[in-house]
Structure 1
Amino acid sequence: MTQLKTLPTYDPTLFEGAAEGYAQYRTKYPSAVFAKLAKIFNLNGQGRLLDLGTGPGLIAIPLRNQFEEIVAIDPDPEMLQEAKRQAAAVEANNIIWLEQGAEFIDSSLGKFKLATIGRAFHWMEREVVLERLYELLTDDGGLALLNTGDNPWVSSLPWKQAAVGVVKKWLGEERRTGQRGQGIRKPVDPPHEVVIANSAFARQEVYEIIFEKSWTVDSYLGYLYTTAFSLKIFYGDNAKAFEADLKEALLAVEPSGHFTEELKASILVAWKR
């Protein structure tokens, strides 16, 4: 049995103050991603979904009509409050919102046809989550890790490189995360695929969907302020100066202030059987 007492404590500052902006500015998963999931798992409005690290509900809410019931879990109360607001706006009444870490799921939650995790698996104790999740899935069920592929730190686009350059100017060369900007991001090692291969899950496969995303200077600033490496609180009294620098750098690359990129959303599916 995994000893949960050894788990690190969740850092409540990881996305401090970012919940509302997260819902507004983070890249949404294209509808084709959810259509692909529906096809893979024969979703038909029956069964139950478990969405871990739900944030403001960017997966749970769009999938509301594909399941009888959804249980959406996140350790951040501000994210859950925003998720509830977003759900109420579209009358998504079949979602249960729970404030807890994904590592603490257990049989009291019941069985699920599908579990989803968005851009959050790297924040979790992955082996623990996979071990506990396996027992909660029906035999024909599985796990889907979703990603929108918009990470500016690995982009070759000049305007994204310019944006990261401004972040580094103000916060330093190392990528920040947590502890109100004092934490340093560690590489995800080993990759998710390796962790899954070493788990009880039977097989895995990656699906990719190409889509287009457009930004403005303001929306990209809004995006940066929702990331764990560039929360607005990191800049304190320097926020206005940072914003001016960012605007200048982006407009130097693209004077129109409008940016379009081709993104590759990914769905990493792991089947129980």
Structure 2
Amino acid sequence: MPGESWRWDPSLYAGSAAYYARGRLPYPEALADALTAELGLDGSGRLLDIGCGPGSLTLLLANRFEQAIGIDADADMVSAARGHAAEAGIANTRWHCLRAEELPAGLGEFRLITFAQSFHWLDRPRVAAAALGMLTADGACAHVHATTHQGRADGPALPFPRPPHQEIAALVRDHLGEVRRAGQGSLPRGTAGGEDLVYRAAGFRGPRRIELPGRVVTRRADDLVAAVFSLSSSAPHLFGDRRAEFEADLRRLLRAAGPDGIFSEHTHPVAVDLWLP
């Protein structure tokens, strides 16, 4: 778990689902292509995306499988994923509001199981062991390392101002305090690392790593506001009756940094560790 004193509760991402798809940078199509090449995906088999959120990765990969299943503990995230699938006309998906700790939950076997920015929230030894038992003999588990709410602070010149991420973080601390919030608790030391040890202890072999470079993206002020509210550490419910005040302060900050409301940034690279049974 992220910390001994922290316990998951249903409010972790309360209110964030409405902002997630807009506020988070999408995973690149190159990620799907790289997994297809590395694993020989051919449209057969099944995908399980654990902690799928609004389906950002599930929907990117769905056409590489016969069926794609996404699970998430947040009912609003699952509803958003279902809506995004319908809007995109992707019919081979199923969605379940389900905690990962409840797996295998009768879901069957899978060619690929993915964790994208979700593993650190889970009872990792328990979930890793369950995932291993749900893989087909030729299957793999993909742990996606990505930062999608903001880009890098460095890099070559850009056509528009960089988003003022440091100032945004300071504004969040002014409203919510210095200690990182998470649901009804806090994470003074952040989330847990050392996932390699967890996967190996569960019986996985590997990893084989895939690395993808970043890219330049353009973002609007509304995208950056959505990015802030998409985070567990600044989810809308945490601001209580000061939420409108915080958003007004945030928009003033963004207008000062980019009067035209347009920003550019370099995305972080994406890395995937492939773990095999």
Please say whether Structure 1 and Structure 2 have the same fold, judged by a TM-score greater than 0.5: yes
Question: In the alignment, which residue of structure 2 is the partner of 1:164?
Answer: 169
Q: 1:27 to 1:154 in 2, by over 3 A?
A: closer
Cα distance, 1:197 vs. partner? Answer: 3.4
Question: In the alignment, which residue of structure 1 is the partner of 2:136?
Answer: 138
Cα distance, 1:219 vs. partner? Answer: 1.3
- Cα distance in 2, alignment partners of residues 59 and 216 from structure 1: 22
Q: 1:24 to 1:51 in 2, by over 3 A?
A: same
- Structure-to-structure mapping, 1:132-211, within 5 angstroms: 132-150=130-148, 159-179=164-184, 182-184=185-187, 186-209=189-212, 210-211=214-215
- Structure-to-structure mapping, 1:1-273, within 5 angstroms: 10-106=8-104, 108-150=106-148, 159-179=164-184, 182-184=185-187, 186-209=189-212, 210-273=214-277
The count of aligned residue pairs is 264
Cα distance, 1:194 vs. partner? Answer: 3.0
Equivalent AA in structure 2 for residue 166 of structure 1: L
- Cα distance in 2, alignment partners of residues 246 and 138 from structure 1: 47
- For residues 39-80 of structure 1, give each alpha carbon's deviation from its aligned partner in whole angstroms, at most 9, with x where no partner exists: 111111111111101111111112121101112111111111
TM-score of the superposition, structure 1-length normalised? 0.87
TM-score of the superposition, structure 2-length normalised? 0.86
- Cα distance in 2, alignment partners of residues 241 and 190 from structure 1: 34
Cα distance, 1:196 vs. partner? Answer: 2.2
Q: Which stretch shows the higher mean deviation, 184-193 or 85-94?
A: 184-193
- The answer to whether the Cα contact below 8 Å between 1:107 and 1:136 also exists between their aligned partners in 2 is no
Cα distance, 1:233 vs. partner? Answer: 2.1
Q: Report the identity percentage.
A: 31
Structure 1: state its 5+ residue gaps. Answer: 1-7
- The answer to whether the Cα contact below 8 Å between 1:201 and 1:270 also exists between their aligned partners in 2 is no
Equivalent AA in structure 1 for residue 44 of structure 2: Q
Q: 1:268 to 1:233 in 2, by over 3 A?
A: same
Equivalent AA in structure 2 for residue 219 of structure 1: D
